[in-house]
């Protein structure tokens, strides 16, 4: 893999470096800055969470890192190589439901392998491995319409894992699920991350989820989305969802909530004002 | 769930709607029969259902309806094939080239609602009094629906599915065959079914108008002889053509896109 020598100012074990990203959109009422000078770096094997109130630019950041949008300022580098379009080392799990309804679970999970040209028997075997990893054995021949929302999201995760990305980038993968399912799927993700030594960047608006999973949590401000603070989570690993009831866990949650509350209430005020403006 | 249980469940699921639909049809015929017999409906306008059934043997033996059925069926199959190939291709073309789409979408939609059957003299001049006039009239009638629905299906593909493809670095042609086309397929098939309906109406209508070819011509003949039971019996065969095409499209759709 070619490396770009110019972008190696960061420590060599930073596999993902996001450097001073600014992304604006042209909207009906002028330019809107969604992501404002955001920088972060993720080390090999690290689990980082990005948290922020709704509408703060998290998905925009996700799309920038994933190479799905252009027209932004700043740089994203993976292993020192500048991201210019979707990077093969990055696997994305999307916020919206993204399984292919016309493919069975196996064919969904085997999709990236099919694209890579792997023969059928081999890719089905690989797919079965990842299906088991997310705990969906027995559902190989089901279609997404026959699965619950949480199961579909696990199919999407398995599909991305099957492409064996160096970096797993997830945008609120459990956003639409209830709290219990979310905690249990969090355990699943931790197990997988532990097993595969996967580097993860998780985008979320859920504090519990961020603290439960991450080594570091980056708190974003409400629009325009800036980095407010980065919190190190020094909880022992391997973790399970039981940790949620520990005292240390509670302290981290409280700390992040106090940062986030300011931003979230700013966001709500902003929206109320906008509504009031629209009505007058 | 084992295979036998699955098939049993399927046949049960199909049995009830089928009986219900068939029962409703029988009830309808019985009602018409009664209404005619008590004089509410004039028997000079609508023949007795029992007479229509009696006429089946006659149209089959004397009017060679089976070979006429074949003529109409072949015309419809050729026109239907052309509609599918040309309509889907043009829909894809309009999707790919936005300028083309914005330039033509409105008048394709206008064409969809135009009574193209009235253009038959023009087609007569071009293709003569031949099968091709009939096929081309059917083709023109069915085409716009397929173009529009193909376009609609492709542009309606959910953004996130396209992004999944991009995140896996699909080539444009993989993006098209693996994501856009299967995602659009249900909508394309709605277009195909609509197109086939318009096509069949036009085919039989033109056969009737130019008194040439298959079932439409026979209807023309029988109507002129004022053989109403025969006319209605023939109409039944027209319905049969359309049923064949419906079953066929449904099978193809299931095969191309399982899971829905
Ligand atoms: N394509 C776009 N065009 C214009 N504005 C956009 C576009 N995409 C996002 N925005 C705006 O950018 C801001 C950030 O959006 P984004 O989707 O990144 O938020 P988010 O943090 O992911 O929110 P949520 O938690 O609700 O998913 C929002 O104000 C949104 O309206
Ligand atoms: Mg989002």
B216-233 burial, b for 16+ CB within 10 Å, e for fewer? bbbbbbbeeeebbbbbbb
pLDDT at position B9 is: 59
Can you tell me the ipTM of this complex?
Answer: 0.88
Question: Out of B161, B174, B182, whose CB is closest to A98?
Answer: B161
d(CA B73, CA B79): 10
What pLDDT, in 10s, does the model give residues A208-261? 889 989 999 999 988 788 888 898 988 888 888 888 888 988 999 999 998 888
Question: Out of A66, A100, A104, whose CB is closest to B167?
Answer: A66
Residues of B in contact with A91 (CB under 8 A): 167
- Chain A positions touching chain B (beta carbons under 8 Å): 63, 66, 68, 86, 88, 90-92, 94-98, 100-104, 111-112, 115, 143-145, 163
**Alpha-carbon distance values, A219 to A98, A103, A255, B222 (Å):** 26, 37, 11, 82
Residues A46, A51, A55, A60, Cα dihedral to 10°? -10
Distance (angstroms) between ligand 2 centre and the Cα of A163 equals 23
pLDDT tier at A2, thresholds 50, 70, 90 = very low
Would you say residue A279 has pLDDT above 80? Answer: no
Are A116 and A106 in contact by the 8 Å Cβ rule? The answer is: no
Would you say residue A5 has pLDDT above 60? Answer: no
Which residues make beta-bridge pairs with A90?
A167
Most confident of A3-7, A94-98, A268-272: A94-98
Question: Out of A94, A143, A144, whose CB is closest to B164?
Answer: A94
pLDDT tier at A3, thresholds 50, 70, 90 = very low
The reported pTM is 0.84
What percent of chain A lies above the pLDDT cut of 90? Answer: 51
Provide the shortest C-alpha distance from residue A24 to chain B (in Å): 20
Residue nearest to atom 12 of ligand 1 (CA): A34
> Does A102 contact B182 at a Cβ distance shorter than 8 Å?
yes
What pLDDT, in 10s, does the model give residues B157-203? 999 999 999 999 999 999 999 999 999 999 999 999 999 999 999 99
Neighbouring residues of the ion ligand 2, judged by CB less than 5 Å = A 59, 95
Question: Out of B160, B167, B259, whose CB is closest to A101?
Answer: B259
Q: What is the mean pLDDT of residues A15-26?
A: 91
Q: Which CATH superfamily is domain B65-256 in?
A: MetI-like (1.10.3720.10)
Provide the shortest C-alpha distance from residue B233 to chain A (in Å): 41
Ranges of each domain in chain B: 1-46, 65-256
Q: What is the mean pLDDT of residues A181-207?
A: 87
What percent of chain A lies above the pLDDT cut of 70? Answer: 95
pLDDT tier at A271, thresholds 50, 70, 90 = confident
Distance (angstroms) between ligand 1 centre and the Cα of A48 equals 21
Are B200 and B242 in contact by the 8 Å Cβ rule? The answer is: yes
The CATH code for residues A1-89+210-245+255-280 is 3.40.50
Residues of B in contact with A101 (CB under 8 A): 259-260
pLDDT at position B10 is: 59
pLDDT at position B8 is: 57
Residue nearest to atom 26 of ligand 1 (CA): A54
> Does B178 contact A115 at a Cβ distance shorter than 8 Å?
yes
- Chain B positions touching chain A (beta carbons under 8 Å): 158, 160-161, 163-164, 166-170, 174, 178-179, 182-183, 185, 257-260
pLDDT at position B66 is: 86
pLDDT at position A7 is: 43
Q: For residue B3, count CB atoms less than 10 angstroms from its CB and return exposed for 0-12, middle for 13-18, buried for 19 or more.
A: exposed
Residue nearest to atom 4 of ligand 1 (CA): A25
> Does B168 contact A115 at a Cβ distance shorter than 8 Å?
yes
| Ordered per-residue pLDDT tens for chain B, 260 residues | 455 555 555 566 778 888 998 999 999 999 999 999 998 888 888 888 988 888 888 888 888 888 888 999 999 999 999 999 999 999 999 999 989 988 988 888 888 888 888 888 888 899 988 899 999 999 999 999 999 999 999 999 999 999 999 999 999 999 999 999 999 999 999 999 999 999 999 999 999 988 888 888 889 888 888 888 888 888 888 888 888 888 999 999 988 888 76
Residue of A nearest to B173 (CA): A115
Q: Which ligand 1 atom is nearest residue A60's CA?
A: 18
Q: For residue A252, count CB atoms less than 10 angstroms from its CB and return exposed for 0-12, middle for 13-18, buried for 19 or more.
A: buried
pLDDT at position A4 is: 43
Are A76 and A82 in contact by the 8 Å Cβ rule? The answer is: yes
Are B139 and B132 in contact by the 8 Å Cβ rule? The answer is: no
Contact residues of ligand 1, CB 6 A cut-off = A 25, 27, 32, 34, 52, 54-60, 95, 205, 223
Residues of B in contact with A112 (CB under 8 A): 168
């Amino acid at each position: 893999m070619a490396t770009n020598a110019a972008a190696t100012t960061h420590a060599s074990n930073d596999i993902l470096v996001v450097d001073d990203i600014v992304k604006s959109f042209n909207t009906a009422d002028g330019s809107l800055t969604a992501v404002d000078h955001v920088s972060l770096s993720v080390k090999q094997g690290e689990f980082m969470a990005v948290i922020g109130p709704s509408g703060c630019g998290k998905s925009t950041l996700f799309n920038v890192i994933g190479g799905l949008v252009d027209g932004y300022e700043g740089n994203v580098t993976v292993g020192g190589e500048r991201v210019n379009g979707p990077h093969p080392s990055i696997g994305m799990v999307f916020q919206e439901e993204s399984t292919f309804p016309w493919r069975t679970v196996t064919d969904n999970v085997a999709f990236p392998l099919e694209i890579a040209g792997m023969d059928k028997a081999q890719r089905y075997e690989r797919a079965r491995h990842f299906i088991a990893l997310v705990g969906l054995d027995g559902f190989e021949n089901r279609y997404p319409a026959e699965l619950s929302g949480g199961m579909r999201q696990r199919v999407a995760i398995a599909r991305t894992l099957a492409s064996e990305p160096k970096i797993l980038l997830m945008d609120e993968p459990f956003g639409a699920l209830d709290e219990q399912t979310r905690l249990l799927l969090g355990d699943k993700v931790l197990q997988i991350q532990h097993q595969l030594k996967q580097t993860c960047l998780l985008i979320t608006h859920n504090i519990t989820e961020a603290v439960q999973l991450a080594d570091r949590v980056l708190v974003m401000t409400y629009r325009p989305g800036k980095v407010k603070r980065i919190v190190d989570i020094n909880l022992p690993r391997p973790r399970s969802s039981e940790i949620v009831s520990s005292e240390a866990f509670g302290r981290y949650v409280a700390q992040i909530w106090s940062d986030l509350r300011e931003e979230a209430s700013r966001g709500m005020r902003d929206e109320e004002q906008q509504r009031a403006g629209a009505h007058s | 769930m084992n295979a036998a249980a699955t098939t049993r469940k399927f046949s049960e699921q199909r049995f009830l709607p089928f009986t219900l639909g068939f029962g409703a049809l029988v009830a309808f015929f019985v009602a018409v029969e009664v209404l005619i017999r008590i004089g509410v409906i004039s028997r000079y306008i609508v023949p007795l259902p029992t007479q229509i059934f009696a006429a089946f043997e006659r149209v089959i033996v004397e009017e060679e309806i089976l070979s006429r059925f074949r003529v109409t069926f072949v015309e419809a199959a050729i026109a239907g094939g052309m509609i599918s190939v040309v309509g889907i291709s043009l829909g894809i073309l309009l999707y790919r080239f936005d300028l083309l789409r914005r330039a033509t979408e409105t008048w394709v939609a206008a064409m969809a609602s135009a009574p193209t059957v009235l253009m038959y003299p023009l087609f007569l001049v071009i293709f003569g009094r031949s099968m091709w006039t009939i096929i081309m009239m059917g083709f023109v009638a069915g085409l716009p629906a397929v173009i529009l629905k193909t376009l609609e299906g492709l542009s309606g593909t959910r953004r996130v599915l396209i992004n999944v493809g991009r995140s896996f670095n699909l080539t444009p042609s993989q993006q098209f065959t693996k994501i856009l086309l299967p995602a659009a397929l249900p909508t394309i098939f709605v277009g195909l079914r609509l197109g086939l309906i318009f096509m069949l109406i036009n085919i039989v209508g033109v056969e009737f108008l130019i008194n040439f070819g298959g079932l439409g011509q026979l209807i023309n003949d029988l109507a002129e002889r004022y053989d109403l039971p025969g006319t209605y019996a023939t109409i039944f065969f027209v319905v049969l053509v359309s049923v064949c095409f419906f079953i066929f499209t449904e099978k193809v759709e299931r095969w191309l896109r399982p899971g829905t």
